[in-house]
Amino acid sequence: MLITETMAGPRAGHAHPCHAAPSWAEARRLAYECAGPLPPVWVPLADADGRVLHRDVTALQDLPHYASSAMDGWAVNGAGPWLLPDPQQPGAHPGLATYGRLAPNHARVIATGGLVPAGAQAILRKESGEVVPGPSGSLLLSVGPGARADEPRRGQHIRPAGEEALAGDVLLPAGTVLNPARIALAAVAGHDEVLVRARPSVAVVLTGSEVVTQGVPAAGEVRDTFGPQLGTVLSQLGGIAGGPARIGDSFSEWLSALDTATAPDGGKADVVITTGGTGRSGTDHFRAAIGSLGGRILLDGIAMRPGHPAVLAELPDGRFVAGLPGNPLAAMMALLTVGAPLIAALGGRPLPAATDVLSGSDMPPDPGRTRLVPCRILSGLAFPVQHTGPGMMRGLAWAEGVMVVPPDGVDSGQPVPVLPLPWSPGVDMVPGTNPQGRSIP
């Protein structure tokens, strides 16, 4: 922000905390452990994609729940030829379940998916049967010249009840991430709704009177980098975010925005994410506003770069507030460090894991600080990308992950933890699974 004397407001503290900032790993763990899972919620199947099951989905009855035909044709009892009932008689519709037992040496028309009558031993396909007039005006079915030699075998083209699952079988265990096929399976199993882990609701407050939302910014202005994408990232992290509130740099705006920040549905937000104002100048109001609202600072700075001024607080009404620095890359790295674990904890999910990948470059030491460096994975090695200054987005735009470089640095060829990016979880960083050896075998 551009600082003027008149913009200065109340300050929570003038000095830096006297204790050393927690390490990157400690900060991540704290952000994960400060919150417990929100109560699970029931959602209709149509809204369940991507949700995580809180409770097993079991088969409410056998699947399939009745023996059915896999072909259009006739259900037959005995070796044939078979007597067919008059198709005009009531109950002769092939799909209806109103049949009685099929008598020996009788056949009955059946459609794919139709209920196989008791007594039927096989289904003779339509193209394999021949119907001719029988005695006394009846119809007679026999195996036709086009049939295969073994038709109809016992049990042929009958899908037995319980073939796919028995009632009570666990089809989708708790913890499963739902996808379209799994939702379809829950429907097949008789469910209308599923009990899933809650997605925390996130309110976003973007600060800075120099921030403009359209077009090419003039000198002294910056184009907003958060509004167009932060909501998407929060959703990729497992939250539900609404459109951002935007405020300038005055203390009263901060106070009011934090006080009134609500969930996208207007209810109480579980998390408030702010950008900017985490520094210690007279225009940086995060800590002072939290203090005025009676909140508690849980984490005040992290021994990491970029993103070291990140703050995490809790308000008296239970809302967590994550203060991301204003510098765009610093904010995204702070979001991965503090926001991602917090949202995971509230959503009842594990702490997002980093995977060890061999470093393709010497990464020099930076005593006392972990560096988060956007990287690409080439031939199984992690290489830092260029353009990763705290205010830059160019490097992150082409990155596949983020190297977590410890304070002692990493030599080329040594393992370094790499965090996946929320928008590229498909990048294969699982050891041993990539034929090109992208990660450590």
Ligand X SMILES: Nc1nc2c(c(=O)[nH]1)N[C@H]1C(S)=C(S)[C@@H](COP(=O)(O)OP(=O)(O)OC[C@H]3O[C@@H](n4cnc5c(N)ncnc54)[C@H](O)[C@@H]3O)O[C@H]1N2
Positions touching ligand MOO (CB under 6 A) are 305-309, 325, 327, 330, 390
With b for 16 or more beta-carbon neighbours within 10 A and e for fewer, the 311-325 pattern comes to bbbbbeeebbbbbbb
Work out whether 389 is an interface residue with ligand X (CB under 6 A): no
Work out whether 337 is an interface residue with ligand X (CB under 6 A): no
Contact 100, 151 (CB under 8 A): no
Other CB atoms within 10 A of residue 264 CB: 16
Work out whether 275 is an interface residue with ligand X (CB under 6 A): yes
Residue 99, contacted partner among ligand MOO, ligand X, none, CB below 5-8 A by kind: none
Q: Which residues contact 398 (CB under 8 A, 6 or more apart)?
A: 374, 376, 385
Residue 208, contacted partner among ligand X, ligand MOO, none, CB below 5-8 A by kind: ligand X
Rounded to a whole number of angstroms, the minimum distance from the CB of residue 1 to ligand X is: 4
Span of 49-57, 120-128, 277-285, 360-368 interacting with ligand X by CB under 6 A? 277-285
Span of 114-122, 171-179, 208-216, 403-411 interacting with ligand X by CB under 6 A? 208-216
Work out whether 278 is an interface residue with ligand X (CB under 6 A): yes
Tell me which residue of 281, 252, 294, 277 sits closest to 334, measured CA to CA.
277
User: Which tokens hold the place of 338?
Assistant: 């503090």
Work out whether 328 is an interface residue with ligand X (CB under 6 A): yes
Which of the residues 114 through 143 are near ligand X (CB under 6 A)?
none
- How many residues sit close enough to ligand X to count as binding (CB under 6 A)? 24
- Return the number of the residue (117 or 325) whose C-beta is nearest ligand X: 325
Contact 354, 304 (CB under 8 A): no
User: Which tokens hold the place of 428?
Assistant: 């294969």
Among 22, 390, 406, 407, binds ligand X (CB under 6 A): 390
- Return the number of the residue (37 or 406) whose C-beta is nearest ligand MOO: 406
**DSSP state string for 304-350:** EES-TT-EEEE-TTS-EEEEE-SSHHHHHHHIIIIIHHHHHHHTT-P
Tell me which residue of 357, 398, 411, 403 sits closest to 380, measured CA to CA.
357
Work out whether 330 is an interface residue with ligand X (CB under 6 A): yes
Residue 360, contacted partner among ligand X, ligand MOO, none, CB below 5-8 A by kind: none
Rounded to a whole number of angstroms, the minimum distance from the CB of residue 283 to ligand X is: 7
User: DSSP code of 363?
Assistant: B
User: For ligand X, what does the binding mask look like between residues 342 and 381, x meaning CB under 6 A?
Assistant: ----------------------------------------
Alpha-carbon separation of residue 166 from 65, 117, 171, 173 (angstroms): 9, 20, 10, 15
Residue 129, contacted partner among ligand MOO, ligand X, none, CB below 5-8 A by kind: none
Q: Which residues contact 366 (CB under 8 A, 6 or more apart)?
A: 305, 405, 407, 409
Which strand (E) or helix (H) includes residue 41?
strand 41-44
Work out whether 326 is an interface residue with ligand X (CB under 6 A): yes
For 146: left if phi > 0, alpha if psi spans -120 to 50, otherwise beta; the answer is alpha
Rounded to a whole number of angstroms, the minimum distance from the CB of residue 337 to ligand MOO is: 11
Work out whether 341 is an interface residue with ligand X (CB under 6 A): no
Q: How far apart are CA 207 and CA 284, in angstroms?
A: 10
Work out whether 277 is an interface residue with ligand X (CB under 6 A): yes
Rounded to a whole number of angstroms, the minimum distance from the CB of residue 204 to ligand X is: 10
Residue 301, contacted partner among ligand X, ligand MOO, none, CB below 5-8 A by kind: none
Rounded to a whole number of angstroms, the minimum distance from the CB of residue 310 to ligand MOO is: 8
Q: Which residue is nearest to ligand X (CB)?
A: 326
Burial grade of 310 (CB within 10 A; 0-12, 13-18, 19 or more):
buried
Q: How far apart are CA 404 and CA 126, in angstroms?
A: 65
Q: How far apart are CA 212 and CA 357, in angstroms?
A: 39
- Return the number of the residue (125 or 246) whose C-beta is nearest ligand X: 246
Rounded to a whole number of angstroms, the minimum distance from the CB of residue 24 to ligand X is: 15
Rounded to a whole number of angstroms, the minimum distance from the CB of residue 213 to ligand X is: 9
Work out whether 222 is an interface residue with ligand X (CB under 6 A): yes
β 296-300/311-314 pair status: antiparallel
Span of 28-36, 157-165, 273-281, 363-371 interacting with ligand X by CB under 6 A? 273-281
Work out whether 212 is an interface residue with ligand X (CB under 6 A): no
- Return the number of the residue (332 or 343) whose C-beta is nearest ligand MOO: 332
Alpha-carbon separation of residue 316 from 10, 20, 291, 321, 334 (angstroms): 20, 26, 11, 11, 23
Alpha-carbon separation of residue 176 from 51, 53, 83, 189, 349 (angstroms): 8, 5, 51, 16, 11
Residues in contact with ligand X by CB under 6 A are 1, 206, 208, 210-211, 222, 224-226, 275-279, 284, 306, 308-309, 325-328, 330, 390
